[in-house]
Chains A and B, each alone.
Chain A
Amino acid sequence: METVTATLPALKTVTIDGIAVPIEGERNLLELIRKADIDLPTFCYHSDLSVYGACRLCIVDIAGRGIQGACSTPPEPGMTVRTQTDELRRIRQISIELLLANHDQQCPTCPKSTSCQLQDVARRLGVSQVRFKSVHSPRELDRSSPSLLRDPNKCILCGDCVRFCSEIQGIGAIDFAYRGHDVAVLPAFGHDLAAGECVNCGQCAAVCPTGALTPRPEVDEVWRALHDPKKTVVAQIAPAVRVALGEEFGLPAGTSASGQIVAALKRLGFSAVYDTAFSADLTVIEEANEFLRRKATGGRLPLFTSCCPAWVKFAEQHFPELLPNLSTCKSPQQMLGAVIKDTLPAARGIAPADVVVVSIMPCTAKKFEAKRPEFAKDGRAEVDHVLTTQELARMISEAGLRFSKLKPESYDMPLGFKTGAGVIFGNSGGVSEAVLRYAAEVITGTKVASPDFHAVRGEDGVRLATVTLGDTTLKLAVVHGLKNARALADKARSGECDLDLIEVMACPGGCIGGAGQPVSHDPEARRKRTRGLYDADKNLDLHSSQENPFVTECYAKHLGEIGGKRAHELLHTHYGNRRRIGDETIRLGEGPSEAKLNVRVCVGTNCFLKGSQAVLQGLLREVDENDLHDSVAISASFCFEKCERGPTVELDGKRIQRCQPEQAIAALREQLAAGKAPQP
């Protein structure tokens, strides 16, 4: 008999601390080491971002190669790696010691205390003293943003924030500036964060290992309101909060803790607790109707969702011509705020000024959204304060409540009742799925057999789905990460996009990955929270927004017709153009310009792309050739916030839009001929 010898392909392995670990597509040694359950410390490594290799903590000793950074070394078969040697230990300790030397070590008063990676790694590596004196002089805190606090004294220059903002969000609101000893992470020109193009998503804070970037707290303001006997303070809780808050009290990520959260809020002194998922149901109905109407009447498509305030600000700054494509629906936070402020005073017999609405959000951008002037009526904001999940956990701890011992309580009716459609809003794809559940019934005229639309679920940053409902085929895209959104929006702008609906969430995984969520050391946390919300949907009796009896009642009692006048007043809004750069002007004339005819040409991004440079050149030539230097002052200005009809030229205070060079010159001549220009 013949012997058959089969050779198995040799398993490609790396020997890590004496253990053979198979290489299975890992991009670098660090991934392989972590797969072997060795949690090598790092500051600057983030699996979603490019490799930076700056913190030098993940150094390992590779036989024959010496000490290398694990994050920046691709694994090769046969490598022998040691993660622990006396030398490695010493180098890591010194790295930490040097970082601490220039670090503001006011740990007990730092918002990141106990979840700070620098603190954690210093403790783990046994750094017991700092022998070096700080050479940094204290820098001022940046409190300009309604969403974030920037404390440059705590920055360790790992660059995680810089890379997230540019690589995932495609913005680049902050970057490294200066060099060597002076290097710092700064917004453009060292201005305040709020002055620039930051969209307040807060992911910089979510990846920051220290307290250099943190959500801006509103805990004090909320306590003050709760302690004021004149005020009726009510809360609303966003879907994503319920599956994450428990993490702060030792529960696994994804555990739905609605009952305890409601109980905790009641104990803190909130007079009613409502569910933002209720107004998510309202959003579904308003937005699905808006969508189906546009689809039926040939209106502007694709329709972009507008629930995410970071995306809305991004669109205002970068895609002025797409603003009509944004759903006019307010976000669920603002819808609920508007409904509460509209109905509660009468229902309770209290003065409107004494109602305080506090929302608990997974998000830092919601803080910015609540302060937008569009969302205030008679000088009163629809939502007074926004607490992140982290902040609510802090208030519960401050009050000394034993979270896990709290007896679950229910939301207050009617604004606390929701369907599963409202709950899944917290997941990327949730808004689309909720809209589909509604649209399916409207289009087919029958109840759908299964409410689940798996086509829009998933983790990829861009997901395309084609869904056929009766005779109607809908093309959808679900994106998270604003860089992904930008790519789709570019296509929509150039007309290469045949999509009907585009859901955009700025944060990875949607709201469950928001920057206000607990700082997690569990790499699976995001996935578990997502599952938690889908499970919560399953456990509810109703899954489609149109089934919500209290929503129906709300329309009957307060809102009137779906998409009608009253509904529009309370539930819809419009967004405007917004400059992404501070109010800057390049003066192109000589001497004082007060006594001259002032001509300003917009050179903001949009007008620039539409050819404002040629307008400017034409005007400059006109002035030069006719020696008008003494009577005309030309300047280039960054954004009049009239982008959709650019290029914009302002001549003696009058705006000319869609201005071409010839038109600008003609207007200038006319103005001069009319003798309106002051004589030099």
Chain B
Amino acid sequence: MRTPGRPASNGRKFEKVVTILERNGRRPARLIPILQAVQEEYRYLPQEVLTYVATALDVSPARVFGVATFYAHFAIQPKGKHLVRLCDGTACHVKDSLPILDAVRKRLGLEGKRQTTPDMLFTVETVACLGACGLAPVMVIDDQVHGQVTPETAVRLVEEVIAKEGQS
């Protein structure tokens, strides 16, 4: 039997991809929902898995790559364990979201175009409107929404995650 506590193995993830493809009837028209579901499993879209999806749907790999790179939602690079998304939609932007981004990135040592920390613990992204403008500026850490954040509270939230990681 499978050893308990072992993280979802590569084999399991692949089984999941197979299920996702079957569930969508291997229909090329379902490419986007398929990619969304695959990204749930892998947290990004590995090239060889995209190739497998292309093969299964009988769509050219170049087309699958095109779709995967068109939408900001899809990542073709691995993401960190924790995903920090900062809203930079109009409402959040006017409520000074950018200094928050700068503070978080600085705390995590992210420079240039880098979005993921070298230890693969964090990925920091901006999104255009999370639809929670009343709480602006909004930051989401691993699906937990935080409203009216400031650079200080944002850094504190990130540090809480780091602390938890240190304990485990």
Query: Is A671 close to B, CB under 8 A?
Result: no
Give residues 54-82 of B contacting A (CB, 8 Å): 54-56, 58-66, 69-72
Segment 2-58 of B: residues with Cβ below 8 Å from A: 2-3, 6, 9-11, 14-15, 18, 46-52, 54-56, 58
21 A/B residue pairs, CB under 8 Å, sorted by A = A166-B63, A172-B62, A172-B63, A173-B60, A175-B65, A175-B66, A176-B70, A177-B62, A179-B72, A188-B51, A188-B60, A190-B65, A588-B9, A605-B55, A608-B55, A608-B56, A620-B11, A620-B14, A627-B3, A629-B3, A636-B52
Residues in B whose Cβ lies below 8 Å from that of A166: 60, 63
B62 partner, pick from A175, A605, A608, beta carbons under 8 A = A175
- Interchain CA distance A471-B40 in the complex, whole Å: 65
A179 near B55 with CB under 8 A, answer no
CB distance B62 to A178 under 8 Å? no
Number of A-B contacts (CB under 8 A): 103
A179 and B70 within 8 A (CB): yes
| A332 CB–B CB distance under 8 Å | no
List 10 A-B pairs, minimum CB-CB distance, nearest first.
A172-B60, A188-B61, A175-B62, A188-B62, A175-B66, A584-B48, A586-B48, A588-B11, A620-B11, A178-B69
Q: Which residues of the other chain, B, contact A638 by a CB distance below 8 angstroms?
A: 48, 51, 55
Q: Does B1 contact A (CB under 8 A)?
A: yes
Q: A172-B62, A188-B62, A589-B9 are in contact. List 14 more A-B contacts (CB 8 A).
A: A175-B63, A175-B66, A177-B62, A186-B62, A188-B64, A189-B47, A189-B65, A581-B54, A589-B11, A608-B56, A617-B15, A617-B18, A627-B1, A636-B52
User: CB distance A196 to B10 under 8 Å?
Assistant: no
Contact with B along A186-208 (1 / 0, CB 8 A): 11111000001100000000000
Give A446 Cβ to nearest chain B Cβ, in Å.
49
A positions within 8 Å CB-CB of B: 166, 171-179, 186-190, 196-197, 581, 584-590, 603-605, 608, 613, 616-617, 620, 623-625, 627, 629, 634, 636, 638
In the bound assembly, the distance between CA atoms of A586 and B70 in angstroms comes to: 24
Are B14 and A196 in touch, CB under 8 angstroms? Answer: no
Give the distance to chain A from B46, nearest Cβ to Cβ, in Å. 8
- Are A585's CB and B48's CB within 8 A? yes
B residues less than 8 Å from A586 (CB atoms): 10, 14, 46, 48-49, 52
Given the complex of chains A and B, what is the CA–CA distance between A607 and B99 in angstroms?
Answer: 53
Chain B residues within 8 Å of A174, by CB: 62
With A177-B66, A613-B18 as known contacts, state yes or no: A589 contacts B61, CB within 8 Å.
no
As a 0/1 sequence over residues 125 to 141 of chain B, the CB contacts with chain A under 8 angstroms (1 = contact) are 00000000000000000
Q: Is the CB of B65 within 8 A of A188?
A: yes
CA A624 to CA B1, docked complex, whole Å: 6
Q: Is the CB of A629 within 8 A of B9?
A: yes
Does B14 contact A588, Cβ atoms closer than 8 Å? yes
A172 to B, closest residue via Cβ: B60
Residues of chain B within 8 A of A624, CB atoms compared: 2, 11
Q: Are A590 and B10 closer than 8 Å at their CB atoms?
A: yes
Contact A636 B66 (CB under 8 A): no
User: B1–A625 contact, CB under 8 A?
Assistant: yes
Q: How far is the CA of A171 from the CA of B60 in the complex (A)?
A: 7
Interface pair B52/A173, CB less than 8 Å apart: no
A198 vs chain B, min Cβ distance (A): 10
Nearest A residue to B68 via CB reads A177
**Which residues on the A side are within 8 Å of B56 (C-beta)?**
608, 613
Cα separation A172 to B2 with both chains bound (whole Å)? 41
A177 to B76, CA, bound (A): 12
Residues of A near B70 (CB, < 8 A) are 176-179
Chain B residue with the shortest CB-CB distance to A634: B11
Instruction: Name the residue of chain B whose CB is nearest to the CB of A179.
Output: B70
Report the bound CA distance from A163 to B15 in whole Å. 34
> Are B62 and A179 in contact, CB atoms less than 8 angstroms apart?
no
